Amino acid sequence: MPVIYRENRLRARARWPSGASAAYIASVALTFLSMACTEQGAAGPVCRDEGSCPDGQVCVNGQCVEKTPDVGDCDTTDDCAEGMICNLASHQCEEASTGTCDEDTDCAPNARCNLSLGQCEVGARTCAVDATCEVIDQRCNTSRGFCVECLSVYDCDDPKVCIDGECKIANTACASDAGCNPPLSVCENAACVPGCGAAGSPVVCGDATRCDTAHGRCVAIVDPPTACSQDTECDPPDEVCENNVCVPGCGQEGGLDCGSTPSETVCDPSTGKCVVAPPEGAALNESCTKDSDCASGTCFDFEGNIGKRCIEACGGASECPAAFTCYDLHGAKMCLSAELFNDATFTENTGAFCESGLDCKSNFCPYAPGLCVDTCARNGDCGSSNDCRWIEHAANQYIAACVGTSAGLPGGTTCSSDADCQSGVCYGSGRCGDLCRSTANCGSSEICAPVDYSVCLSATTPCSRWAVNVVNACIRVDGSLGNKMVGAPCSSANECEDGFCETTLGICTGICTTDADCPAQFECSVMEYDELSDGSRLFANFCLPEP
């Protein structure tokens, strides 16, 4: 499977066009927070603003109350009472939702404009470029599409470090490194301190250790080889256990030589071990180690017990073989076998009775027991009697399905909610987006791109558990697109007519559903393009070179 590596960190990604991407990806499914009202003290005179109150009091929720650190001066929202935020411009605590607005700049620097309600609300502003955030002295996290206080330790003043987009004192309380921001900061004596690779770090490595800059920790210099009984006692895939000692894995310099083993084996770089070579042209659902092992050209790593399997991109179940369904895995659609699911058959066609989705070829049985309903990628997939719509079929769970006709608005029309649109997608600041298989289905100045409807299921910041929902829709791009086709060299998404530049290969790419959406010598494959705060990986189907 083609793997994308984030630029300057762990993976790079298919870059979005500068005019539209991050804003519509991050803002398309806002979760509105309910702020609990908290008693601020004894009620005083009625007021409209702070000037209406006696000295030493401030106006909160229409009542004058004594000025305290919770309701008066502040440096961060943590200084304010529940239900209030710190206006970073005035350094005063204010109600979390305060004032009407037409755009973000009408609100406090650490608030944004809820365009559907026309009201300011607490939360980070959406952005695509740094210029949007510079007016409030912040940076744009382009991978998530919103403004943050910092992206690295260099954005913070000493002795603060960047932790989850905020500059914080390095001695923030912690229980483990995960509570800090490794490798920039790690947990020492229940406090976050700079890691061994950061300036001013108290973590000093001794003679027998070295600094592991990927984790901010000192690790032992292993010489001679470490004794072991299994791979986990080494550092796979860099080191694996062979003949009871840790040795470099087969993908490392001087590592295991798979060609010299008694049987025909090949290197699996994900484990560092030599494995039996799979047959050439392996069928769907057969084991594989690389894309070229599969007749479909795509080997996907499901991790865990399933491991690597041959898969094929799809838009609906009709494009998959018998006993397979077109499964949506965090945004990428792929043909998966019923063998991977408990009690699944995937045999019943649209309209047949079903006890659960596992009975249906489409894997979708709404209001079970009921009737099987087909899934889809765009309107043309459903025939004349149904529209392909993006619907919330259960709490926090979305699917693109053929669910009758809709009198909603067409793509490109302004909207205030998903229900306004024929497609069920109202993205960004309020525009309907038609569902699409590729940019060929979209109008001028539009690209087919993933729209993130993922819902946070936790009350933590950042979110510790997401319900992942992603759909491809036609998105309008502000500004001009390039004229380079899929496969042409690129360094920026704005050079490409489909709006994406795969920066590892340095070529233009685009969203697809099947190989037919891609040019000759390219296939519709699966590629990771983002990651949520709980570690959930977001995927999409992109045109990539054949293996």
Nearest to 92 by CA among 58, 121, 125, 115: 58
Q: In this structure, are 135 and 193 located in the same domain?
A: no
Nearest to 30 by CA among 135, 139, 146, 129: 146
Strand 324-329 with 332-337, pairing: antiparallel
Beta bridge partners, 274, equal 267
Report, as an integer, the average pLDDT of 50-62.
Answer: 63
Q: How far apart are alpha carbons 513 and 515 in whole angstroms?
A: 7
State the pLDDT confidence band at 264, using cuts at 50, 70 and 90: low
Domain count within the chain: 3
Residue 371 lies in a domain: no
User: What pLDDT score was predicted for residue 523?
Assistant: 94
Q: Is the pLDDT of residue 267 over 90?
A: no
Residue 1 lies in a domain: no
Report, as an integer, the average pLDDT of 373-389.
Answer: 90
- Structural domain ending residue among the three candidates 148, 172, 207: 148
User: What pLDDT score was predicted for residue 34?
Assistant: 29
Q: Is the pLDDT of residue 5 over 60?
A: no
- Structural domain ending residue among the three candidates 295, 310, 325: 310
Determine phi and psi for 22, rounding to 5 degrees. Answer: -60, -35
Question: Percent of the chain having pLDDT more than 70?
Answer: 80
What's the full length of the chain, in residues? 547
Q: In this structure, are 191 and 239 located in the same domain?
A: no
Q: In this structure, are 133 and 180 located in the same domain?
A: no
Q: Is the pLDDT of residue 531 over 50?
A: yes
State the pLDDT confidence band at 379, using cuts at 50, 70 and 90: confident
User: What pLDDT score was predicted for residue 455?
Assistant: 93
State the pLDDT confidence band at 80, using cuts at 50, 70 and 90: confident
Residue 37 lies in a domain: no
Q: Which residues of 75-108 are buried (b: 16+ CB within 10 A; e: fewer)?
A: eebebbbebbbbbbeeebbbbbbbeebeebeebb
User: What pLDDT score was predicted for residue 16?
Assistant: 42
Q: Is the pLDDT of residue 24 over 50?
A: no
Q: How far apart are alpha carbons 336 and 199 in whole angstroms?
A: 49
Q: Is the pLDDT of residue 41 over 50?
A: no
User: What pLDDT score was predicted for residue 272?
Assistant: 86
Q: In this structure, are 139 and 96 located in the same domain?
A: yes
DSSP string, 191-241: EEEE-TTSTT-S----TTEEEETTTTEEEE---SPPB-SSGGGS-TTTEEE
Task: Tell me if residue 382 falls in helix, strand or coil.
Answer: coil
User: What pLDDT score was predicted for residue 539?
Assistant: 95
Q: In this structure, are 95 and 120 located in the same domain?
A: yes
Per-range mean pLDDT, top range of 75-79, 123-127, 193-197, 339-343: 339-343
State the pLDDT confidence band at 135, using cuts at 50, 70 and 90: confident
Q: How far apart are alpha carbons 327 and 285 in whole angstroms?
A: 13
Least confident residue range of 124-128, 278-282, 283-287, 507-511 = 278-282
Task: Tell me if residue 449 falls in helix, strand or coil.
Answer: strand
Q: Is the pLDDT of residue 337 over 90?
A: yes
Q: What pLDDT digit, counting tens, does each position of 302-335 carry? A: 988 899 999 999 999 989 999 999 999 999 999 9
Q: Is the pLDDT of residue 364 over 90?
A: yes
Q: In this structure, are 107 and 163 located in the same domain?
A: no
**197 vs 539: which has the higher pLDDT:** 539
Q: In this structure, are 187 and 251 located in the same domain?
A: no
**137 vs 349: which has the higher pLDDT:** 349
**102 vs 373: which has the higher pLDDT:** 373
Residue 80 lies in a domain: yes
Give burial (CB, 10 Å; 0-12/13-18/19+) of 369: exposed
Q: What pLDDT digit, counting tens, does each position of 421-441 carry? A: 999 999 987 999 999 999 999
User: What pLDDT score was predicted for residue 459?
Assistant: 84
Report, as an integer, the average pLDDT of 92-119.
Answer: 76
Residue 320 lies in a domain: no
pTM of the model: 0.53
Mean pLDDT, the chain, as a whole number?
Answer: 81
Q: What pLDDT digit, counting tens, does each position of 224-256 carry? A: 778 888 888 888 889 999 888 888 888 787 788
Residue 260 belongs to domain spanning: 231-310
Residue 306 lies in a domain: yes
Nearest to 155 by CA among 129, 176, 130: 130
Residue 536 lies in a domain: no
Report, as an integer, the average pLDDT of 132-137.
Answer: 85
State the pLDDT confidence band at 402, using cuts at 50, 70 and 90: very high
User: What pLDDT score was predicted for residue 278?
Assistant: 63
State the pLDDT confidence band at 545, using cuts at 50, 70 and 90: very high
Residue 214 lies in a domain: no
Question: Percent of the chain having pLDDT more than 90?
Answer: 39
47, 59 Cβ separation under 8 angstroms? yes
Determine phi and psi for 177, rounding to 5 degrees. Answer: -60, -30
Q: In this structure, are 139 and 169 located in the same domain?
A: no
Q: What pLDDT digit, counting tens, does each position of 162-221 carry? A: 777 777 765 668 888 888 888 888 888 888 888 887 766 888 888 888 888 888 899 887
Q: In this structure, are 136 and 169 located in the same domain?
A: no
